[in-house]
Amino acid sequence: MTADATPTASSPAGAVPGSADSAARPFDVLGKTYEDTYAHLPEQLAAIDWLLARLPRRARVMDIGSGTGRPTAHRIAAQGHEVTGYDVSRTMIDLARAQVPAARFELADVRTLPDTPGQWDAITAFFPLLQMSRSDLDATLARIADWLAPGGAFVFATVPFDAEDQEIRWMGQTVRCTSYPAETYGRLLRRAGLEVVHEELSVFHPDFPGMGTEEHLFLYAVKPGGPAVPAHALAGPYPLPEEYRGPHELSEQGWLGMEARFERHDIALVADALSGNARVLDVGGGTGAVVREIAARLGSVTTVEPHTAREESMRPLGARGVRVLPGRAEELPLPDAEFDAALATWVLHYTDDPDKAVTELARTVDRAHPEAKVILVQGAPDNELIALWNRTCAPLLGEAPDHQGYLLTRAARVLAERGFPDVSFHRARVDVVFPEEGPEAKAEAAAAVLADFWNTGHPRLAELRQALLPALREHFATGTDRFNDDAVMLLARPRRTL
């Protein structure tokens, strides 16, 4: 809705200004046209992404003004969360139920919903509070804060302007609107007890005849309290182990054999997350694949590598802006707060003490920097290669299963305790490809590569290869040429109240 639309002379017949019927009438008329016009706002999609990266697994989410169910309820429910949408428009409820069967939708005015303190892990409200009085708007925002569970998140969008009960023409409809100047909303949310962590103004020009530009305000807020790090689905599977299994052995020969077969999208995800940084530390530089990309984008990067042979192999990267230092993740040879970002990709499961390694990463980052962050990359809960190792190799070797989500959860808690409480989780696609001709050739190649990668030099290496073959033959018999080796990027930042 645009606040500077031309005022009209009267309200729609039969609608009491500020009533649910009055608010529903334009949306009953517009139906799917509203979705076609507004469902692809980049700021709204970014807000949903922000929320999804932080929601606990199977979160309870309220969507106020749920409309047709797209994009908000659809995207959140698709990630396995329990979404309940409320809207005053019967047309919108009917569309939402048809389009998003995984969510629940109810015809209701948010002002009449019963008080349910602490019931919701998250609440979304994209432009639904414009057709009520300021007193109702204030009361609704306060109730939303009360409905959130400790640690819960609220994502809110509106059209900021300074008027109450202003009659406008919007998408061919007569609508009475109320709002506040942009700076007022943050104050209202803080007064309600929420911590505002993001505030953004944007401009949108709806693709609809006669519509002008609109100014939109997006706010993200968090209710204090709750667990330092919620149990996110990407840190699963659950339940988590009770203790660390100990480090895997790492062989340069085994890693090189795997690297030639990777199709990695985690490196680009990490590099994109570092776009605002200038002084970056990488721990466990390995073959240099990650630091080469970072240096190419930022101009320079420092990497610490514990293995002498790999450290020496990366020395030529100095010409590309890569500074290489010897050292262990648990004892970084660097002063406090020297960098504005630190990262470790696929490293924690090779460390003797993951908590100490994460503590060291956090120590090297200047938390006062506006782009301060720590990034960790480990395996996803549905990673096929980790599942194969756990199913076949761990029992044969008498070792405990590998659980990457356990490491991510421990890391997230350590980072929250050390001043990086804004923790988010992001999936990255990684494939390991075997282009050999025929299932048997693929299985033989995979058995050799994987056994060497996991257990180079092990006295039972030949036995490991044979043990892997039945599962590999079955896998490649489906016609695929790859394994899912998906990653999770944990991104931790200091939380700043605006």
Question: Using an 8 Å Cβ cutoff, are 432 and 453 in contact?
Answer: no
The pLDDT value recorded for residue 253 is 76
Question: Using an 8 Å Cβ cutoff, are 295 and 301 in contact?
Answer: yes
Question: Using an 8 Å Cβ cutoff, are 338 and 309 in contact?
Answer: no
Query: Is residue 274 predicted with pLDDT exceeding 90?
Result: yes
Nearest to 75 by CA among 94, 56, 99, 98: 99
> How much is the average pLDDT of 11-23?
60
> How much is the average pLDDT of 297-306?
96
> How much is the average pLDDT of 258-277?
96
The pLDDT value recorded for residue 256 is 81
Contacts with 279 (C-beta within 8 Å, 6 or more apart), sequence order: 302, 338, 339, 340, 341
Tell me the pTM.
0.90
Nearest to 152 by CA among 72, 73, 81: 81
What is the 3-state composition of the chain as percent helix, strand, coil, each rounded to the nearest 5?
A: 40, 25, 40
- Interval 354-363: pLDDT, tens: 999 999 999 9
- Interval 60-72: pLDDT, tens: 999 999 999 999 9
Q: If pLDDT is split at 50, 70 and 90, which confidence band does 294 have?
A: very high
Nearest to 325 by CA among 316, 336, 334: 334
Question: Using an 8 Å Cβ cutoff, are 461 and 451 in contact?
Answer: yes
Burial of 260 (0-12, 13-18, 19+ CB in 10 A): exposed
Distances in whole angstroms, Cα of residue 101 to Cα of each of 52, 64, 256: 19, 17, 46
Query: Is residue 90 predicted with pLDDT exceeding 90?
Result: yes
- Asked if the bond preceding 239 is cis, omega within 30° of 0, the reply is yes
Query: Is residue 7 predicted with pLDDT exceeding 70?
Result: no
More confident residue, 110 or 226: 110
Distance of CA 18 to the CA centre of its chain: 37
DSSP-derived letter for residue 328 is B
Q: If pLDDT is split at 50, 70 and 90, which confidence band does 11 have?
A: very low
The pLDDT value recorded for residue 498 is 53
For the chain, what is the mean pLDDT? 93
Q: Would you tell me how many other CB atoms lie within 10 Å of the CB of residue 272?
A: 10
Distances in whole angstroms, Cα of residue 453 to Cα of each of 181, 279, 472: 59, 32, 15
Question: Using an 8 Å Cβ cutoff, are 456 and 249 in contact?
Answer: yes
Q: For 72-76, 402-406, 482-486, 494-498, which range has the lowest pLDDT when averaged over its residues? A: 494-498
The pLDDT value recorded for residue 497 is 55
> How much is the average pLDDT of 442-452?
96
Which alpha helices (DSSP H) does 53-195 contain, by range? 72-77, 90-99, 134-147, 182-191
The pLDDT value recorded for residue 110 is 96
| Angle between helical axes of 134-147 and 182-191 (0-180°, round to 10) | 50
- Interval 317-355: pLDDT, tens: 999 999 999 999 999 999 999 999 999 999 999 999 999
Nearest to 12 by CA among 176, 178, 174, 168: 174
- Asked if the bond preceding 71 is cis, omega within 30° of 0, the reply is yes
Q: Which two three-digit tokens encode residue 20?
A: 């649910």
Percent of the chain with pLDDT over 70: 96
Distances in whole angstroms, Cα of residue 362 to Cα of each of 22, 235, 305: 53, 20, 17
Question: Using an 8 Å Cβ cutoff, are 235 and 425 in contact?
Answer: yes
Query: Is residue 13 predicted with pLDDT exceeding 80?
Result: no
Quote the CA–CA distance of 90 and 93 in Å, as a whole number.
5
Distance of CA 12 to the CA centre of its chain: 43
CA dihedral 39, 63, 112, 177 (to 10 degrees): -30
> How much is the average pLDDT of 133-159?
97
Quote the CA–CA distance of 337 and 445 in Å, as a whole number.
45
Question: Using an 8 Å Cβ cutoff, are 476 and 454 in contact?
Answer: no
Query: Is residue 230 predicted with pLDDT exceeding 90?
Result: no
Amino acid at 164: E
In this structure, are strands 482-484 and 163-170 parallel, antiparallel, or unpaired?
unpaired
- Interval 193-208: pLDDT, tens: 999 999 999 999 999 9
> How much is the average pLDDT of 3-21?
47
Q: If pLDDT is split at 50, 70 and 90, which confidence band does 229 have?
A: confident
Q: Which two three-digit tokens encode residue 245?
A: 């299994």
Beta bridge mates, 331: 328
> How much is the average pLDDT of 104-131?
97
Quote the CA–CA distance of 156 and 13 in Å, as a whole number.
31
